[in-house]
Structure 1
Amino acid sequence: MSENKIKTSSGIEIKKVYTTCRPMEELPAEFPFTRGIQKDMYRGRLWTMRQYAGFSTAAESNKRYHYLLKQGTTGLSVAFDLPTQIGYDSNHDLAEGEVGKVGVAIDSLKDMEELFDGIQLENITTSMTINATASTLLAMYIALAKKQGADLSKISGTIQNDILKEYAARGTYIYPPKASMRLITDVFEYCSNSLPKWNTISISGYHIREAGSTAVQELAFTLANGKAYLKAALDKGLDINVFSKRLSFFFNCHNNFFEEIAKFRAARRMWANITKELGSTDLKAQQLRFHTQTGGSTLTAQQPINNIVRVTNQAMAAVLGGTQSLHTNGFDEALSLPTEQAASIALRTQQIIAYESGVTQTVDPLAGSFFIESLTDDMETAALKYIDKIDAIGGSVLAIEQGYIQNEIASAAYQYQKDIESGEQIIVGVNKYTAEEKVNPEVFRVDDSIRISQIEKINQLKAERNNEKVSEKLAAIKTAAKGNDNLMPLILSAVEEYATLGEIADTLREVFGEY
């Protein structure tokens, strides 16, 4: 009688025992960086403990940021509400019911000033999860830094700015792909001259995974998108040895512990080879730096306290995989935005791993494991097959326009759901070890009335600002959008006059159209 085959979530077969692997000769910080990008990794500096937060008004989110900083978080990560993500002010008809719900509402520089009240931007790194309107939100951040008197050469952080995964998996796009790619490369070019320490894109596998992809698909599609951004920047005439140093990645971390560690190790090796093939010669330009967030879609509304164990398992895998930055989800996030208690436990999870587990004491502690090294190779081989298919189609933009990537993700999501329903995939508390529960947890709710206060703020802003200057600045953006000039300086100039996010997005809609 033959044994049932055991496979990872990506369908890679797991052997009963591993007795050999490819010889491990490379060291950390050496090409192709499988073992990590720093010689001493966490012995020298821990990962950035970054908690993703943002809800309601800028003032309310500011309170949560100060709370997290007091708890020991070492970097801020901003969640924006849906209208902000798709270029609508809070007073737009389509914003009704969504203002401040899945993130903070930012309509103008005034809101950005409130969001970071009492926080010196020169002294903190900030990650902003924003894509279609990334150029405008970054401009607001720069404008605020200038008002604070900050040295822009010292401002550090990350703007997600990854539109390709929006078309493939998440949906918060505005303009057609080519116009969107122009905005992204404008940010690359502007920051390489004016914000040298800023990460100009966070190429995101996170949302691809949340949409239902396998680990291998997340790896392949993310790096294929990264390749498309490299080529777009090269086409613009930018130097890969300069702009590639400011690209970063954002990965998910799910429950299959060893598969996730192998995914991160394979990602570094694959990216090093991709950048080298496209002409990079600088080791720093070949390094894959990444932020990790634990898997939101793995969290269960049933027995939510179990999610603390899931998040711990995922966070440990991210650390063993060599992440530069980490967000741990709150245990209650299948029910609502995280409460302060849940956010605090999530941060403490990282601190316990950092200071009590011992996993930070040596670099790449699982290197040389027959299983880990073999699985890293298997992940790379499987992901390269996808990248070869995407290259044959003509790259990520065409593969997305033809629906190839979306269809692959949808098929994987469908299969995973079937496996849960058949019991082949066990989810504790959902399809096994269930219990009668009183569903009455403390949940976090955002009041709809905040839309009214945001509308009042917009009305007051428009009454106080110089509307003639705003019109001039918007007209300049419109003219430049019809040509090839870099739009970032013009967007920055408009937000400094308190043009709203929606006004800028609408100006670009007039030229680029909507997708």
Structure 2
Amino acid sequence: LDDMLVLFDGLPLDEVSTSMTINAPASSLLLMYQLAAERQGIPGTKLTGTIQNDVLKEYIARGTYIYPPAESLRLISNIFEYCHTEIPRWNTISISGYHMAEAGATPAQEIAFTLANAKEYVRAALAAGLDVDDFAPRLSFFFVARTTLLEEVAKFRAARRLWARIMRDEFGAKNPKSQMLRFHTQTAGVQLTAQQPEVNLVRVALQGLGAVLGGTQSLHTNSYDEAIALPTAKAARLALRTQQILAFETDVTKTVDPFAGSYVVESMTDDLEEEAMTLIQAVEDKGGAVRAIEEGFQKNEIEKSAYDVALQIDSGERVVVGVNKYTLDEEEPYEPLRVDPAIEAEQCERLAKLRADRDQGAVDAALEKLQAAASGTDNVLWPMREAHAVGATGGEVSDALRAVWGKYTPRDAF
């Protein structure tokens, strides 16, 4: 909590919307944010923002999970319930295909496995007693934008069609907002190269253009030095300027679905929708996203696609400018961002002081309450909030839940 207070010092949290790309420990970060706002005198009812909170794709593509899938789903449904009462304007999940795409998923796999995960989250919320039209309007999505501009436009269009039909026909959503596929897009970091990094400015511009033409509501453009290090100030500014040119110097934001009626895009949309629907059904046939994850289905499909792409690049069938074609004999020197290592020592000192100054008895009692809730069926967010309020760290809260729920070991590590 002390770190959160430092991070948001001086920022009016009732006037900004904060997005946190956090998954397995999303509950802790959200509660610390709420507690920081309360220190400013701002109630949870005035807070707006988003937590990614999409833990299922962690098992598929990233590996930064903590608990077994079933327990992770329980935690997410607890967050849905908590926010419905305490932070009603908060977007409680951003269901992400981006990381699967970065791991090698095809466009059809990206939207299929994302929407299959989304169905699992909807089922979890319904099982927790929530009404679909109470929580579904707060669902949001997160996709990649590759350099294959037309295919990406078709992908976004197919995803919207599929989600509207899923929510209306499978879950009986009546509110039109429950059927909307609201999504954020990030340009494809995996397609950016360390070789001739300035060329990435062109890639990012094309990727951003495809996202806008595909109807994204929110956009992040990567810095040209993404493949090398954290962005320098200049690189980050150029990424921002790319968005600003798209927004203010072009006319692509003035028309909804500008490719509607294009034979090639309509045909590609139909093909992607059909291919994605087949994959969604394959997940359903295995018992849903969690059961398919436990079998390693999605991960295996994505890894096969990634291997195919690697072979295409190695053979030259797939051109990557500056890597396997149009290369330079000698690269220009580049000085990446260097982070001061003294920051680590300073943070260690802050943590030691926190533990020395807090009421350890109150922390221990709060963590015991959290474990008692986790052992039963109570919502764990309220005792978790109490633990953070008296000084428990994110790691201590995670350890307390890990002691009850265990730690997930993936199938391929057995």
State the TM-score bracket (shorter-chain normalisation). over 0.9
Q: 1:430 aligned to 2:323?
A: yes
Match of 2:55 in 1: 163
Q: Aligned equivalents of 1:326 and 1:486: distance in 2?
A: 34
Any conservation in 1 of the 2:82–2:381 contact (CA below 8 Å)? Answer: yes
1:301 equivalent to 2:199? Answer: no
- For the residues of structure 2 that align with 1:328 and 1:267, how far apart are their CA atoms? 21
SS in 2 for 1:379: helix
Residue 152 of structure 1: how far off its partner (Å):
2.2
Structure 1 vs Structure 2 CA RMSD: 1.0
Name the SS of the counterpart of 1:121 in structure 2. coil
Q: Which residue of 2 aligns with 1:317?
A: 210
Offset of 1:466 from its aligned partner? 1.7
Moved more, 322-331 or 490-499: 490-499
Aligned partner of 1:327 in structure 2 is 220
Aligned twin of 1:289: 182
Matched, 1:222 2:114: yes
Measure the CA separation in 1 of the matches of 2:146 and 2:255: 24
SS at 1:390 equivalent: helix
Aligned with 2:285 (options 384, 392, 412): 392
Matches within 5 A, 1:114-193: 114-193=6-85
Q: In the alignment, does 2:307 pair up with 1:414? A: yes
Alignment counterpart, residue 146 of structure 2, candidates 236, 247, 254: 254
Instruction: In structure 1, give the amino acid aligned to 2:14.
Output: E
2:343 counterpart of 1:450 = yes
238, 246, 254: which one pairs with 1:353? 246
1:445-473, Cα deviation, whole Å (9 max, x unpaired): 22444332222111101122222211111
**SS of equivalent residue, structure 1 residue 510:** helix
Residue among 184, 209, 214 paired with 2:101: 209
Other-structure match for 2:412: none
Partner of 2:126: 234
- C-alpha displacement at 1:439, in angstroms? 4.8
* Residue identity opposite 2:387 in structure 1: A
Counterpart of 1:391 in structure 2: which amino acid? E
| C-alpha distance after superposition, 1:103-129 (max 9, x if no partner) | xxxxxx111111112211111111111
Partner of 1:82: none
How far off its partner does 1:151 sit? 3.8
* Paired residue secondary structure (1:305): helix
Q: What are the superposed Cα offsets for residues 248-268 of structure 1, whole Å, 9 maximum, x if unpaired?
A: 101011110011011111111
Unpaired runs of 5+ in structure 1? 1-108
* 1:310 counterpart letter in structure 2: R
Larger relative contact order (CA 8 Å, sep ≥ 6): 1
Q: What's the counterpart of residue 298 of structure 2?
A: 405
Which residue of 2 is the match for residue 10 of structure 1?
A: none
* Separation of aligned partners in 2, 1:451 and 1:302: 30
Q: 2:4 aligns to what SS in structure 1?
A: helix
Q: Distance in 2 between matches of 1:164 and 1:242?
A: 22
Distance in 1 of aligned mates of 2:176 and 2:364: 46
The match for 1:56 is none
- Partner of 1:114, secondary structure, is helix
- TM (norm. structure 2) is 0.97
Distance in 1, Cα, partners of 2:121 & 2:269: 25
Matched, 1:382 2:275: yes
More helix, by proportion: 2
SS in structure 2 opposite 1:144? helix
Structure 2 stretches of 5 or more lacking a match? 409-414
Greater Cα offset, 136-145 or 151-160: 151-160
Stretch of structure 1 that moved more, 434-443 or 277-286: 434-443
1:15-26 superposed matches below 5 A: none
| C-alpha distance in 2 between matches for 1:321 and 1:438 | 35
* Partner residue, 1:511: 404
Write the deviation string for residues 392-425 of structure 1: whole angstroms up to 9, x where unpaired: 1111101110011111000000000000011110
Q: CA deviation at 1:495?
A: 1.0
SS state of the match for residue 184, structure 2?
Answer: strand
Runs (4+) off by over 6 Å = none
Letter in 1 for 2:136: S
Displacement of 1:437 after TM fit? 2.8
SS in 1 for 2:14: helix
Q: Is the contact between residue 195 and residue 331 of structure 2 (CA under 8 Å) also seen in structure 1?
A: no
SS at structure 2 position matched to 1:122: coil
| Matched-pair identity in % | 55
- Give the partner amino acid of 2:361: E
| Counterpart code for 1:393 | K
Matched with 1:105 is none
The C-alpha deviation readout for 1:232-256, integer Å capped at 9, x for no partner, is 1111111111111111101011110
Amino acid at match of 1:234: L
C-alpha separation in 1, matches of 2:252 and 2:357: 55
